[in-house]
Amino acid sequence: MKPTIPKLPLLLKPFFVSLFFSFFLLTFLCLSRSPHHRKPTTGTPSPKKSSAGGESNDLRIRPGYASYETYIQHQLNKTLNPKLRAVWTTRDWERKVRVFSRFFQDLKQRHFLFNESKALSIGARVGQEVAALKLVGVSDSIGIDLVPRPPLVIKGDFHAQPFDNGTFDFEFSNVFDHALYPWKFVGEIERTLKPAGVCVLHVALSRRADKYSANDLFSVKPLVKLFRESELVAVRKVDGFGLDTEVVFRKKKKKSNS
């Protein structure tokens, strides 16, 4: 004899039908909100380094360096080249000292440089710029380079200058294109400059620099962004050994608390 299955009361049938459809609808909604079906959110894109002084359309870092040590060795290949050093210290010496002297004398006339200024030449090679500074009367002058050449040039990496904060009144460089990290290059200038101190850069905008350059600059705009603690005070065309533009920045004075 088959067991009899009790029939549901007529009033309970709508309840169970409703419960079944509610369960089905709830399951469907949960599945539709699972990670595989969720609409991806649009996050804020990573800012380009140009806002902090890195790569941008007008400032491009050259690729090819596996490490910082590789970059340094590449720079030393030029600085330690015996033929180049022989040229720099003999027949090239007087010509470059003469040209740099004219640049610095002009900067004195424009009140960016003074005899009493404490001056630094960044990437000074064998010291022609330092000799020129002393020749025009700026006696308290020194240069830094990866390879020292006393007494005019001491050893120093322009990405990490070996000086205290606020040391110099005036800093000059014509090797910005050799900076692998331009924001560090400029950051060290602003760190070691005194308030109201002046930095003068000679850069190439109309032509590409040599094979030892680590970056290519196409306008002054990236420099303005890089010098966050300074103001741009002058730009002019020059003829400086393949560099065509002189850019002058003055470090802002600290605001008084009063």
The secondary structure of 180-216 as a DSSP string is SSHHHHHHHHHHHEEEEEEEEEEE-SSS---TT-SEE
Lowest mean pLDDT among 3-12, 184-193, 248-257: 3-12
Distances (CA, A) of 19 to 5, 15, 39: 21, 6, 30
Instruction: Write down the residue that tokens 């002046």 correspond to.
Output: 198
- Please say whether the beta carbons of 142 and 121 come within 8 A: yes
Residue 178 pLDDT more than 60? yes
- Which residue did the predictor score with more confidence, 6 or 116? 116
Residue 196 pLDDT more than 60? yes
Lowest mean pLDDT among 56-65, 120-129, 230-239: 56-65
Dihedral angle at the C-alpha atoms of 167, 190, 146, 91, nearest 10 degrees? Answer: -90
Instruction: Indicate the helix (H) or strand (E) that contains 24.
Output: helix 13-32
- Which residue did the predictor score with more confidence, 32 or 169? 169
- Please say whether the beta carbons of 184 and 159 come within 8 A: yes
CATH code given to domain 60-251: 3.40.50.150
- Which residue did the predictor score with more confidence, 56 or 146? 146
pLDDT value, residue 119 = 98
CA dist 216 and 198 (Å) reads: 23
Percentage of the residues of the chain whose pLDDT score is greater than 90 = 67
Q: What is the pLDDT of residues 6-28, one digit of tens each?
A: 454 554 455 444 554 454 444 44
pLDDT band at 117 (very low <50, low <70, confident <90, very high): very high
Residue 165 pLDDT more than 80? yes
Which pTM was predicted?
A: 0.78
